[in-house]
Amino acid sequence: MTGKEPLLGTLKACILAIKEGSSPCTDASPHLAPFCEILETILRKGIKQPVLGFKRRDYWHWLEQLPQQDTCSGVTPLSIMVEKASSCEKVLTAQGRGRYFLRLALNQKLLATAIQQLARNPKLLECYDPLVSVLGNEDFMEPFLSLMLVVSEMNFSLDLQNSSFLDESWLLPVCMTYETVPCRELGMVLRYLDGRIFVIEVLPESQAEVDEVVLAGDVIDEISGFSLRNARNGQAGTVLQKLKGKPLSFRMIRWKWHDGGMYKPLLPYLNVLREKVPSFQLQQEHRHKEEKEERCLQGGRLLYNLRYLGQANVGKYGGKEVLDEGIPKVLEQHLCPQEVLFDVKETEVFIQEKTSSKVLFQYPYPEISCVGRRLDSNHLFAFCVAVSPGTPEHSTFDCLVFESNSENECEEIIKRIGKQTFYCLLE
C-alpha cells in the first residue's frame, strides 16, 4: 500500500495561499515563489538520471518532447508554449527553460494539460522511477493532477519578459523601462560580467542622470527589444550603433528588490564587481533626489527622510549579533515601506510618520541595546530595543529596520545613535 506524499500536502497549502490572495496572481505575490519551488520539486522527484551522468535530466527534457509524442494534433497551444520556451533568449539552461514554460503555462491555464499529456504517454513516464516519484506513481499522480486542474482555473498575470534570472532563481528582480531621446552620449559606464551588463556609474550631468531612472548597480536586460542576456563584450555598443538617431527603450533590472534591500541573486556578481572595480558603489537614489530629500527641516531641526520596513522580536538577547537574524526576519515579512521622519535627539530617537506627523516611536537611549547593519545591505540599518525596559531581567528585544537614502547617511545615523548609547552606558 502506498503511503502519503508530504509534497502534495505542501503544494495544496501553497495553492490555497495564492487563492486567498488578490486575483490575478502577479510576480509581486509572496506566495508565488514558494508555490513554484514546491511544484518544481515534485516535477523533479524521481527523474531517472543517465548511468554515465554526462548530462543531468530535468523535467524540461520531457516537456520539450510533448509535441513530438502527440503527432496527430498538429499545432496546439501546448506545442506553441514548448516552442516559445525553447527559443526564449533570456534563459540558457534546462532549468531556466522549464521554469519559463511553467510560468507561461500558469498564464495560459495549461499546466494541467501538460500533466495530462504526460500521464497518457507511457514512453515519457519511463523518465520517472515509480517507487520514489510523484509523476511515475499512479496513486500520487491522480491527486497531483487534481491540484493542477484547480491551478488551471486560477488567474495568473506573470511578466514573461522578466525571465533573465530564471536560470538561477525563482526569486525574480524588479524590472523597469527607461525610455530616452537620441543623444550622443547617455553617460552610463558599463561593465560586462558573465554575460550580464552592469551599470557601474551614472556620470554627473549626463542624459542618464538628468532622466533620473538608472542607478549604478542596475543591469541592462534589453535595448529596444534586443535581448542582452549572455551578452558579449561590446554588444550593447553594437546594438546602440544600429539604433543611432532613434529613440531608445532600455529594459533595466533593478539591483533593489521590492523590500528596498538588495536582489539576492545579484550578490555574487556585485561582490566580483567590487573586487574588479574597487571604486564601484551601489547607488541608492538619484543624486538630485538625494540632495533634495535626504533631510527635512522641522522646528529648526534637520530630520532624516527614511523608510521604516518593520520590526521583529529577536528573543532575550539584544546584542549586535542578533541584527544578522533580526534584519532578514523583518524583510521576510514583505511589509510595505512606511515613509518616516527620523530624529536623533540628544536624549532619544524620535520617529514620526512623514505624512501625518504622528509619533510612531520614541526610545530613550538607555532602552536601545545595539545599532548597526548587515554587510550585504549598506543602506539598511536596525536597532534593538527592550520590550519591557522596567524589568530588564525578563525583557525580550525587538529589532526595528529602516532604509536610508545612501550608505553615507546610513553610517552617519549608526554612528550618532551608537555615540549617544555609549554615553548613556558611561553614565
Q: What are the cell numbers at 275? A: 573586487
**Which CATH number applies to 175-276?**
2.30.42.10
What residue has cell string 504517454?
Answer: 121
Q: In the CATH scheme, what architecture does the domain 288-426 have?
A: Roll (2.30)
Tell me, what amino acid is at 307?
R
Q: Looking at the domain 6-151, which fold is it?
A: Methane Monooxygenase Hydroxylase; Chain G, domain 1 (1.20.58)
Please tell me the distance from the alpha carbon of residue 341 to that of residue 277, in angstroms, as a whole number: 35
Cα Rg, the chain, nearest whole Å: 26
What residue has cell string 539552461?
Answer: 93
Q: Where are the domains of the chain?
A: 6-151, 175-276, 288-426
Beta-bridge partner residues of 418:
none
Please tell me the distance from the alpha carbon of residue 100 to that of residue 111, in angstroms, as a whole number: 12
In the chain, the N- to C-terminal Cα span, in Å, equals 71
- What is the model's pLDDT at position 365? 85
Tell me, what amino acid is at 340?
V
What's the Cα-to-Cα distance from 267 to each of 16, 90, 167, 256, 260, rounded to whole Å?
Answer: 32, 19, 15, 11, 14
- The ranges of the chain with pLDDT < 70 are 1-3, 53, 70-73, 287-301, 420-427
Which 8-state DSSP code applies to residue 239? Answer: H
Please tell me the distance from the alpha carbon of residue 112 to that of residue 133, in angstroms, as a whole number: 18
SS3 state of residue 416: helix
Nearest to 396 by CA among 355, 361, 357, 367: 367
Please tell me the distance from the alpha carbon of residue 232 to that of residue 196, in angstroms, as a whole number: 9
Contact between 92 and 167 under an 8 Å Cβ cutoff? The reply is yes
Q: Kind of pairing, strands 301-315 and 196-202?
A: unpaired
- What is the model's pLDDT at position 288? 58
Number of H helices, E strands in the chain: 15, 14
- Please give the torsion angle defined by the CA atoms of residues 143, 144, 150 and 151, in that order, rounded to the nearest 10 degrees: 170
Contact between 209 and 198 under an 8 Å Cβ cutoff? The reply is no
Contact between 276 and 191 under an 8 Å Cβ cutoff? The reply is yes
Show the DSSP H helices in 109-193 as ranges.
Answer: 111-119, 122-125, 138-151
Q: Which residues contact 169 (CB under 8 A, 6 or more apart)?
A: 264, 265
- Please give the torsion angle defined by the CA atoms of residues 43, 46, 48 and 53, in that order, rounded to the nearest 10 degrees: 90
